[in-house]
Structure 1
């Protein structure tokens, strides 16, 4: 073999060796980088993570009545970000919603106004995973515009001739009201006990009562029709709001996605703007 042929052969061997080294090296900064894919084989878009549940199809959310305005807005935002999803809400007293869930009502998500009502669902094995507290809420006194009875605090609710509406004690707003009244050492007999906070608020709107103990968020949402009075004992009756995907959710991925969204910075901004407190 001539010197020329030996040189060519050696050069070819060197090229092949270098190529093999480059292909086998995982730490070479010039090596091609793989692209992570989502669960459907496509690259994840901004704001998503690989393997995150896809939000599509019908998602049924059972939520405390005090969440109506905020969740209605958030539902629209969620649908806009997930064109394949359709969120339907069932708002009501948390205790009644919990009973419905435990009785087999089809739902994907439960957002309660107190840990106690959520516990009735988790104790029955109805939650998929540990519920998460996503906001807190405090009470205020709702009065008709102009506050004709001059209510300035809880003691005024027990004055002669003042008609008061409360939530039933089984409902979170009712339990919180009893805690606040006890802290203020005030005893009163309400003229009506409502099954959710919106019912108690409506009594004030219609002029059927002179005052009602509701959430600050409800006073803020209904500010065009009623006035609100803050009182110091409200600090002793703060309600945590837990949320959970349900174990028998017809749309498990949609439920998980909605629960995650409610805890997102975007959703938290909407909730705090409505008067809720961060957890």
Structure 2
């Protein structure tokens, strides 16, 4: 911006001319600025998370129960295919540990728990955006070594002192469900170890470090012929509901909402039921 000329006899006319020129320049600058703002706004909405078109973009972080690993990875790949420019990052583990991470401030967009009890940790802390909804259910099964060499046919058989049996820790949903099943059958069982999540418990049998484990049907199905599954009636008394929710502090709420919609859609339910989950 130029400064005013020194005061001379022609000062006033010069001031008028300079003032007029400055006003014209200001108007032009304002018009350019407005146009630029509109352009930047349009551009920003295209590159932002979701944009004005409502199309999700960017990274969405999902915290999910370990038993959802295979199904959610399939859904994550489908989500990225349906929405170019998105990336789904998963953190799988015991629902209680995930809930503690969320309430501790870990950045996440979605939480899918293996039980309403662990979901309550998040809702009670005010970290859920809205009311969590049950999207699937899961039932327990006994996983034995391939061919079931020990002839395990019931939950009671697992109380045989000669068997090495593994359970999930009671603080995680699969462990809590196993305890309900044992109580339903009036049975007491002392495992050789308690594991932090269902995948860890199942892996003990896969690696032949244990003779049997009480896990979910979905996990038995996921490993194919590496184990053999045995149904038991008490499992009907310990079916777990799986709730899902968008988180209040979600860094990418638009993409998170779209992912939850996919999970609850007919397409998402097909993937989950094919994995052995029960419809809610």
The TM-score, its normalising length taken from structure 1, stands at 0.81
Give how far 1:84 is off: 1.8
1:62 match: 63
Q: CA deviation at 1:52?
A: 8.3
Moved over 2 A (4+): 51-54
Alignment gaps of 5+ in structure 1: 1-39, 42-50
Is residue 272 of structure 1 aligned with residue 278 of structure 2?
Answer: no
Structure 1 residues 60-114: Cα deviation after superposition (integer angstroms, max 9, x where no partner)? 0000000000000010001110012100000000000000000000100000000
State the Cα distance separating 1:53 from its structure 2 match: 4.5
1:199 alignment partner in structure 2: 200
1:6-53 Cα deviation digits (max 9, x unpaired): xxxxxxxxxxxxxxxxxxxxxxxxxxxxxxxxxx99xxxxxxxxx884
More helix by share: 2
The aligned residue for residue 29 of structure 1 is none
Aligned with 1:130: secondary structure? coil
Q: Is 1:134 aligned to 2:140, yes or no?
A: no
CA RMSD of aligned residues (A): 1.4
Matches within 5 A, 1:75-94: 75-94=76-95
Are residue 170 (structure 1) and residue 171 (structure 2) matched? yes
CA distance in 2, matches of 1:95, 1:119: 10
Residues 157-176 of structure 1: CA deviation (Å, up to 9, x unaligned): 00121111000000000000
Secondary structure of 1:241 counterpart: strand
Tell whether the 8 Å contact from 1:53 to 1:254 is kept in structure 2 after alignment.
no
C-alpha separation in 1, matches of 2:53 and 2:279? 25
Matched, 1:255 2:240: no
Match in the other structure for 2:73: 72
Distance between the aligned counterparts of 1:72 and 1:246, measured in 2?
A: 20
Deviations 1:197-244 (A, max 9, x none): 000000001111111000000011112211000001111000000000
Residue of structure 1 equivalent to 2:20: none
Alpha-carbon distance in structure 2 between the residues aligned to 1:274 and 1:105: 29
Q: What is the rounded CA distance, in whole Å, between the counterparts of 2:53 and 2:119 in structure 1?
A: 25
1:194 offset after TM fit, Å?
Answer: 0.4
**Other-structure match for 2:11:** none
Match runs of 1:149-228 below 5 Å: 149-228=150-229
CA contact (8 A) 1:53 1:257 kept: no
Q: Secondary structure at the match of 2:224?
A: coil
Aligned partners of 1:127 and 1:247 also within 8 Å: yes
Q: 2:53 and 2:61 mapped to 1: Cα distance?
A: 19
Alpha-carbon shift at residue 251 of structure 1 (Å): 0.4
Distance 2:103 2:161 in 1: 42
C-alpha distance in 2 between matches for 1:188 and 1:170:
16
Residues 133, 243 of structure 1: 8 Å contact kept: yes
Tell me which residue corresponds to 1:143: 144
Matches within 5 A, 1:98-113: 98-113=99-114
Provide the aligned length of Structure 1 versus Structure 2.
231
CA contact 1:108–1:255 (8 Å) conserved in 2: yes
Residue 188 of structure 1, CA deviation: 1.0
